[in-house]
Structure 1
Amino acid sequence: MAVSDQLESHCVPVSKDACRYCPDPCDEGHDEYPARFDIDTTSDMFGSVKPYHRQCVISTGKKDWVKEVTEEKGSLAERISNINSSLAPKVHPNNSKGDPSLPDGLFVPENSTRLAILNGSYNSVDDNGRQTVLVFPDYKFVLAENSVQDAHDLWLGHLGPDIGIAGQGRLEAYTIPYSAVILICSHKKRDNRCHVAAPKLEHSLRTALEHEGWEVHSQIDDHDGHGEPLNTTEGSQEQKDQLALERLKSLAGRDPKRALIIYNSHVGGHKFAGNLCIYTPTGSGVWYGRVTPHNVASIVKNTLVKGEVLPELLRGGINLSRKDGGSLLSW
């Protein structure tokens, strides 16, 4: 069955648009990958993303990292990985809410207990030595020191599979104040192709988004007025989760729209470079592969503006099914 048919059968909003608008060869001045940029253009790409229940991206201020970020001694990534290895259950506590009928490539958090741990290029928003950890699909960031204690509390309060979107415990959590977060793999020490592709994709994304009237940031705006932490406000856990949901919904009314673009460490699938993921406040995460600057205008128009998936580029995604196939941007 064609990828588009599989997606539509599971109520994923699918774009019928072309994934490339410019002619081939291009006459619009788009950036080009070098002639020796060899990738896999024949293997099935859909289904190449390992399911996860959450993904975290840790602030480092770098665009390249050691080959295995979770094995870097003394790093927050290593500490979180160690805690996760000892505490993560084998079966998701809410596994019964998962959807076993989903094809490989489509998943919901309840389908997995895997925690994906990445490093990111952005700097921390905190001036007191704490690192900033983005958490998806919750679409929030948490402030944590690089210590065993904070890694433990981070996992228990925000990363474990049985935690609500607001989180709990003492570590402060805030809604990510953007209409979309775009992750681009740039991990040179894992594969040079992603390192080559990342800046070209960022440049093309920035150009296309600004053409649509969006602001584009590479650092989290620390002057945004994030409000009280989601998890330390008064009320029951249910009330805190409701507050988190209301803040996420409020992002839809912001004008101008704003996107946060971050370089990230290895996510797998380097043979499908360029790799990027688009997260939305509604909890969707769209993983694209074989992306070139020629595809970016279509990605911006169809996925970021309209909330539709381009099947030809899709590696997989989390929370992509929508009632009646409605937009990924709709609640």
Structure 2
Amino acid sequence: MNFITNLVSNITGSSPQEPFPSSIPFTEDPCSTCEEPCTTHPQIPTYLAKKIEGGPLVGTMKPYKRHIMVLEGRSKDWQERLESSDGMVKVVGGQVDQWAGKAGYRTIVTACDPVVNVSVENATKEQEQPTSQRVEKMAQFFLFPELVSLESVSAAEAPTLVQGLLVDNQIPASFPSTPLPGRAWIFVCTHKKRDKRCGVAGPLLVDEFRKAVEEMGLVGEVFVYGCSHFGGHKYAGNIIIYHRNPSMDGNWYGRVRSCHVRQILQTTVVEGKIFKELWRGAMDRSSEHSERKDW
């Protein structure tokens, strides 16, 4: 327990005696009211469920202050190591590594699949899917904590963008940005070739979140995407919630199941409360660049 609380202290700035920082509005309410085993919502296969690790989730994420999302490819096609594959993620990741020392903080770079919507049956198929080995000429970027989109960035322009973000702490003027629509963005790890647990649980959660968004009248307010590995496959399903409300922004949940989806949307996204039971940690918002803009 000392290890966990000290790790949380490093991530959140809270004291070892307070693993759940007071700046975040937590709730003790249960994140699911389903009976066990649940027969109402779709579940991952039992053999995979047995491979999901138990124990405390708090403090199981590495601290970071910036997240660069590259809209590139489909999750079923992503190679195991995108940082070693030809593509925009590799280009951006290399530049982030180059300037990380100047920035003084960790930046996450992931691929984003905005159109993933496959069934768990399809996600469990063993056949490999063809993957393009070329660098996309242009790619759209999502930037957090800025909550903006850059519509078209080329591989040649990526170094200038990353240097501006990490060294100058701002988006270079040569990159027009637009505010992301809505108030919340949920990213689910769907990176099958990195780990089958997220590769199966992730698409199932994306489907369930998108259905619930429609059912709850949140279309246009809440957006759900599949994304590549960001850490902790053993805690699948893994999600990150970015939100216009600073206290809700950049919170990580682990061991998310379809039973939790509607509770997360209602309690976390709409009401602004974080489930302690699922919480892994949150993006560090202490630096100047993470000040929220009210669009």
* Structure 2 residue aligned with 1:314: 279
The whole-number CA distance in structure 2 between the counterparts of 1:258 and 1:285 is 17
Q: Give the direction of change, closer, same or farther, for the CA distance of 1:8–1:79 in structure 2 (3 Å limit).
A: closer
1:286 to 251, 262, 269: 251
The whole-number CA distance in structure 2 between the counterparts of 1:69 and 1:8 is 33
State the shift of 1:120 in Å.
Answer: 0.8
Aligned letter for 2:75?
A: K
Is the partner of 1:118 in helix, strand or coil?
strand
* Structure 2 residue aligned with 1:184: 188
* Structure 2 residue aligned with 1:210: 214
| Number of aligned residues | 253
State the shift of 1:320 in Å.
Answer: 7.5
The whole-number CA distance in structure 2 between the counterparts of 1:14 and 1:84 is 33
State the shift of 1:270 in Å.
Answer: 0.3
State the shift of 1:269 in Å.
Answer: 0.4
**Aligned runs of 1:36-185 on 2, under 5 Å?**
36-37=47-48, 38-64=50-76, 65-73=78-86, 75-89=87-101, 92=104, 113-122=105-114, 130-147=138-155, 149-157=156-164, 159-160=165-166, 162-164=168-170, 167-185=171-189
Is the partner of 2:199 in helix, strand or coil?
helix
Aligned letter for 2:253?
A: Y
Aligned-residue sequence identity (percent) comes to 29
Is the contact made by 1:181 and 1:280 (CA closer than 8 Å) also made in structure 2?
yes
State the shift of 1:70 in Å.
Answer: 1.6
Kindly indicate whether residue 226 of structure 2 is the aligned counterpart of residue 263 of structure 1: yes
Aligned letter for 1:169?
A: A
Task: Point out where structure 2 has 5 or more consecutive residues left out of the alignment.
Answer: 9-16, 116-135, 287-291
State the shift of 1:296 in Å.
Answer: 1.3
Is the contact made by 1:286 and 1:320 (CA closer than 8 Å) also made in structure 2?
no
Post-superposition Cα deviations, 1:288-307, rounded to whole Å, max 9, x if no partner, equal 11111111121111111111
* Structure 2 residue aligned with 1:248: none
State the shift of 1:91 in Å.
Answer: 5.9
State the shift of 1:144 in Å.
Answer: 3.9
